[in-house]
Structure 1
């Protein structure tokens, strides 16, 4: 009888650990595999301004945006050597882009974070 009483408790502990592990794996997979989306507006700006970023730079930006999102940042200014990007961290979307020279004369409003990368 004592063995039967412990069985459900043991099973509940195993299920709780499995659910916790699955949740952790799912969150890590979703966060690490989320690629930035580029809005039509941002794509037009990137093309017009002949801004190209390497795959490595995009990957670094994605990691930083993921970190920013975890800290509650919604809209972020991201400065890289080639460009200034406004990215909605919540939706993982590049909103607009400009080259660094153009960015020097701009005022950025309605952002809740800035990421400066070299």
Structure 2
């Protein structure tokens, strides 16, 4: 048999088992931290900047919690309604897709969403 082909058929090493008391490694901890964060798309960031929309850190935390809850219930795309702002978010990707102030929402039709999240500020 050709030696080049044999090298592809070597068995992979078996990973060592971790005890349950071991702490997860740094990359895994970083993954967990990033999973909690909310990303803002370039489009949404530009809209927020243009419309002078500011959201407090406390409100972002509430939004993140509700996005996690929505995702667990199978909601992928949501309309997040705040006192003065509306956001379209992807709960699945934890990303803000677009943002507008509530005055703009009165004449809008929101499509491709399967949930609504109300957040009291």
Whether the 8 Å contact between 1:53 and 1:82 is mirrored in structure 2 is no
TM-superposition CA deviations, 1:3-39 (whole Å, max 9, x none)? xxxxxxxxxxxx9x939xx8xxx7xx83796110000
1:30 aligned residue: 32
Number of corresponding residues: 97
Structure having the higher helix fraction is: 1
TM-score (norm 2): 0.71
Structure 2 gap ranges (5+): 1-16
TM-score (norm 1): 0.73
1:5 aligned residue: none
1:103 aligned residue: 105
1:64 aligned residue: 66
Report the Cα offset of residue 82 of structure 1. 2.1
SS of residue paired to 2:109: coil
Structure 1 gap ranges (5+): 1-14
2:117 aligned residue: 115
1:82 aligned residue: 84
